[in-house]
Amino acid sequence: AQSVTQLGSHVSVSEGALVLLRCNYSSSVPPYLFWYVQYPNQGLQLLLKYTTGATLVKGINGFEAEFKKSETSFHLTKPSAHMSDAAEYFCAALSSNTGKLIFGQGTTLQVKP
Amino acid sequence: DSGVTQTPKHLITATGQRVTLRCSPRSGDLSVYWYQQSLDQGLQFLIQYYNGEERAKGNILERFSAQQFPDLHSELNLSSLELGDSALYFCASSRTESVVEQFFGPGTRLTVL
């Protein structure tokens, strides 16, 4: 069965530091991949997605992610963290076989001043 | 604001009871998805409707059911509630059957006492 693994349930960075949130997927067929952000008491907001084409995907709020087929990874990065980036981040994969979106367990990003 | 609305925002009820959660998709969206977010299970896909018809089913319990009405709003019915049903229930919508670009509502927080 397809699965999505996010390494690290909590990540803490200082303001201005690099943000790296890790995501690995298991699938024999490269799925579509997504990163969502959830701010407290809000729904999920799409940050970026990879479907086909360029493997480096740019999203909103300065985030980007790179699809690496050989590593089955889709890590999320941002060069410089802002306090407003503190939230929970979910990686998700869409199986072309089932049409279902599979979410990782989420990573809480803490940004320290 | 994603354009997806969910009511109520909070719901507190007792075990054994039945509740109905309501979702109105974005204007023009034909697909509605329901998700459950809990501390132990994470974010899980429950069910999808497209233009009134069930399209995909995830980890939805038999005590739960959903429907999409002609005006495209959807309701998720949860019956014989158990403590473990306490969770955030999200609705999302998309223009087509594809989940590639779906927009999430703010969620309904259900507490079963």
Q: Which residue has the tokens 């949860």?
A: B78
How much of chain A, in percent, has pLDDT values that exceed 90?
73
The predicted pLDDT at position B100 comes to 78
The CA distance from B29 to the nearest CA of chain A, in Å, is: 17
**φ/ψ of residue B92, rounded to 5:** -135, 160
pLDDT in tens, B32-54: 999 999 988 889 999 999 999 99
Contact flag B99-A101 (C-beta cutoff 8 Å) = yes
Residues of B with Cβ-Cβ distance to A32 under 8 angstroms: 100
Average pLDDT of chain A? Answer: 91
Q: Give the model's confidence band at A3: pLDDT under 50 very low, under 70 low, under 90 confident, else very high.
A: confident
Q: Do B104 and A44 touch (CB under 8 A)?
A: yes
- Taking residues A34-60, report their average pLDDT: 91
Integer Cα distance of B90 and A101 in angstroms: 13
Q: Do A103 and B43 touch (CB under 8 A)?
A: yes
pLDDT at A44 over 80: yes
Alpha-carbon span A3 to A90, nearest angstrom: 13
Does B95 contact chain A (CB < 8 Å)? no
What distance in Å separates the CA atoms of residue B8 and residue B11, rounded to the nearest whole number?
A: 7
DSSP B40: T
| Amino acid A26: pLDDT | 87
Query: Which residues share a beta bridge with B66?
Result: B76
- CB of A53 within 8 Å of any CB in chain B? no
Q: Could you give the 3-state DSSP secondary structure of residue A70?
A: helix
> Which parts of chain B have pLDDT scores under 50?
none
Mean pLDDT of A39-59: 90
- Per DSSP, the three-state class of B32 is strand
